[in-house]
Every structure is written in structure tokens, then in C-alpha cells.
Amino acid sequence: MKRILTPALIIFLVAVLGFGIFIRLQYWSQLPVANGYAAKMMCSYHFIADREAAAIQQEDLGAPPLSLTKTVIDESAKTATTSLFGFSPRVAAYREGVGCILIDGKDDHGVSLSRPDIALRRTPDDPPIAAFSEVNGVDYGRLHRAVELAFDPSRQMDSVMTRAVVVIYKDSMIIESYAKGIDKNTELLGWSMTKSITSAMIGILIKQGQLNLDQRSLFDTWTDERSEITLRHMLQMQSGLAFEEDYATLSDATKMLFTSEDIAEIPLQSQLEYEPGTHWYYSSGTTNLLSHLIRETIGDQQAYLEFPYTELFEKLGMKSAIMETDESGLYVGSSFMYATARDWAKFGQLFLHQGYYDGQQVLDSSYVDFVRSDNGHSGGLYGGQFWLNVNHAALPDVPEDLFSCNGFQGQYVYIIPSYDAVVVRLGLANEPMFDPNLFLSRILASLKPVD
């Protein structure tokens, strides 16, 4: 019996074929990146932060084409497999101690870490709510109004999309607030705030005498003009290396983060575009080269993996902190660290107090001075893997002495010495939906500056 194609069926088949062609033409080259991004977010937020897959899909992957992806989570294998209508599936796998890794090669590196046990430190204080009123110099009514305005009224991810706010003043936590589904124990992704963590790791190695800011010939393969690039140039994003930091296309940055087995490979092969020290260009590739340099300096893979925990997180009591690696075991120092809002605040306090924390000089004060100093070519915006506000270049209504860790979608750790304050905001939106200048100026208006 012959099967007759009805007009409706023909239209349906043509539509399906047309949609497949559209996907192939519009997204095909970017599918590995899009699916890799979605698999990575789903895996990390589910297995690190213990969030439900439906909430991750709706909130963190809510914009197309990510909203069109489908992810299958294997709880026993601890993997997330994502595809877009079945095309170009990507797998992210949870590995003990190092979070979720995108599988780009043969998955034969065996990366894992038994993280050192981290004891809680006494600062920032963790007082009961009633004790918040004991800190002098705070207008609590004004402070609460400022924080409320930083969230959507529904406490959902509607428009402003703030997830967490923590304010530390005079070494006391004077307020914390969270969106629905998030609390003080939820590990949140810092994105490029991780660059400042990498900077701190470099600072520790400098304090130990293993690195110095003006050393050259940073990598064995840089036997050409790249041998003139110094560590100072790298930290200040003035290496002169060609690198495409574009997240809307298939660029150096997206290929590095979402399609590379070894994230140092692409930037390590980059050639000079400018003379070192003469041009500022924000590059995640540069920070991942710093992570590569840290590993080469330490020399042992296991010691490298333990390094941020034993030398930084343990000394600050950042019990929730987890840095993620690529498949080769290299920390993605540009982008992938999770911690609670309280623990991000502790990191800010380290720099607020010139590298001193809870009885220990973790970083030399001279290094803190370096990272908060203008690199000379950013118009007052950038120092050593930290953002600045020289001449109010970034935030017109906020003190010039502010410096900060900044990340994609409005992740911020603001350090304001003139107010003896650290302000953390984590979320899913930046300007114009979330206005950091207005948010921070409202917060500071509730605090008395220090003498």
C-alpha cells in the first residue's frame, strides 16, 4: 500500500528540514562552544552548589541558543551531557576536588584532588542578626533600603537579577541578603573575579621568592621577541600578545574555555601584536598563561593543585572555595572559581588589609599596592588583575581608592579602604539592568567613612 504525503505532512517535513538547515548555518560553528558552556554550567552548579537542574536551565541558561539546549545529568557518573536538538553533544564531568571538567580529549588525565581540610577563621564575623546593630557608623535603615533595591521585588531572577549581597564594615558583616533558592551556603561562580584569585597566587609566589615582577623569558617556547614580556606586563594585561576576547563569536577566548583540552595552548602560541608594556588589552588568555606559569614554577602537579588551598584559602578560612581545572589539570585561572558570598568577602578583606589576615601576612603589602595601581594605559581602570576607579573612571559616585574583582554578569567584590569596607554582589545581570555605581553609592551612603 502506497503511503501518500499529505500537504500538512509535507509542510511539516519542510519546516523540520528548514529548521535543521537554519541551525546548521546560524549556529553550527558555535555549537561545541554553546553546548560546552551549557554542560559546564549545568554540571558545576548541580554537583558543586547542589542546585536543581530545572532552576539552572531557567536562570543560568535562559537566553537563546542556550535555552534551546537539553542536558541529561547522570547522577551516578556525575556527568552532564548537553546538545542542541541532538547536535554536537558535549560532556562535563565532576571530578573530586576540582569541580567539573569539560571533556575535550580522551579523558585520560585522571585529574582529582583531596582538598586539604580548611578551618573556619574568625573574620569576617558571623554574628547573629541581632548583633548587626552593634557596629557604630551605620545607618541601618538606609542600608537595608539600599540592599533591597539591589534585588528584584520577587527575589527571583526577573530583571535586576541579584543573587547575593554581603557588606563587611570595620571587619564585621553588617548585612547579607539572598535571592530565592540561594543562601549563605550556596557556592556561586565568580567568573573573571577568578583572575584576582590567580593574581593572589602569583603574589604568594613572589613573597616566597619564587617569582619577581620584572623577570623575563617566562616560558621556554618564548625564544623570540616574546622573551621580553615580563610578569608585570602579564599581570597588568599589557603583554602585547594577540588574543581575541570576544564571547559573541567563535574566538580565541571561547575556543580556549570551551573546546580546549589545555587552556594554555592557544595563548601560549599567540604572537606579539604590540610592544610589551605599551598597550592595555583585557585578555583571559593572559590570565591562563599566569596559571600555567604558576604550575611550571611549582613544578609538581599535585603540589600545584593543593597550592591555592594551602597557601590562600586555608589562611582565609574560605572553606567553600573550589577552583576548577581544564582536562589537563590546569586551573582555569581566568574564569572558574566557586565560593559563597561570605567567602568572596573574605578574599576582599585580605586586600583591604594590605595582605594581612587573621594574624598572618599572606601577601606583601607592596604587592597589594601594585595590584591597585593604574597600569598606565587603561585610563585609570586597571591594575594587576584588579579593576580600579582612578579619577572616578568606572564609578563616578564612588571613592577613587576603590579597587575590585569583577566578573561576567555583574560579579563584584568591591574593596573600599576609605570606608574600611568590602561589598560583594553576585548575580546574573550587569548594566543597564543592574547599575553598580548606583548600588554601591547607596550602600556607602549608609556608612561613615573612616578617618
CA 234, CA 224: separation in Å to the nearest integer?
17
Q: Decide: helix, strand or coil at residue 140.
A: helix
DSSP H/E element including 167:
strand 162-169
Would you list the DSSP string of 21-59? Answer: HHHHHHHGGGHHHHHHHHHHHHHHHHHTT---HHHHHHH
* Helix ranges restricted to H, 149-193: none
Residues of the chain with pLDDT under 70: 1-28, 108-109, 116, 120-133
CA 215 to the chain's CA centroid? 27
Predicted pLDDT of residue 3? 54
Which residues are CB-neighbours of 192 under 8 A, at least 6 positions away? Answer: 284, 334, 335, 405, 406, 407, 408, 411
CA 301, CA 373: separation in Å to the nearest integer?
32
User: In Å, what is the CA distance from 252 to each residue of 66, 233, 286, 430?
Assistant: 20, 20, 11, 23
Tens of pLDDT, residues 164-203: 999 999 999 999 999 999 999 999 999 999 999 999 999 9
Which residues are CB-neighbours of 133 under 8 A, at least 6 positions away? Answer: 140
Would you state the cell numbers that stand for residue 69, as one nine-digit string? 539546549
Contact 430, 160 (CB under 8 A): no
User: In Å, what is the CA distance from 443 to each residue of 57, 175, 262, 266?
Assistant: 32, 11, 41, 41
The CA-based angle 252-304-224, given to 5 degrees, is 50
> Which residue from 73, 78, 75 is spatially nearest to 97, judged by alpha carbons?
78
Would you state the cell numbers that stand for residue 231, as one nine-digit string? 610578569
> Which residue from 177, 172, 165 is spatially nearest to 138, judged by alpha carbons?
172
CA atoms within 13 A on the CB side of 134: 10
Predicted pLDDT of residue 326? 95
CA 303, CA 83: separation in Å to the nearest integer?
36
How many residues make up the chain in this entry? 451
CA 226, CA 270: separation in Å to the nearest integer?
9
Q: 194-207 and 301-308 helices cross at what angle (nearest 10)? A: 110
CA 79, CA 399: separation in Å to the nearest integer?
45
CA 399, CA 299: separation in Å to the nearest integer?
41
Predicted pLDDT of residue 6? 66
CA 359, CA 372: separation in Å to the nearest integer?
23
Predicted pLDDT of residue 33? 95
Predicted pLDDT of residue 79? 97
Q: Decide: helix, strand or coil at residue 442.
A: helix
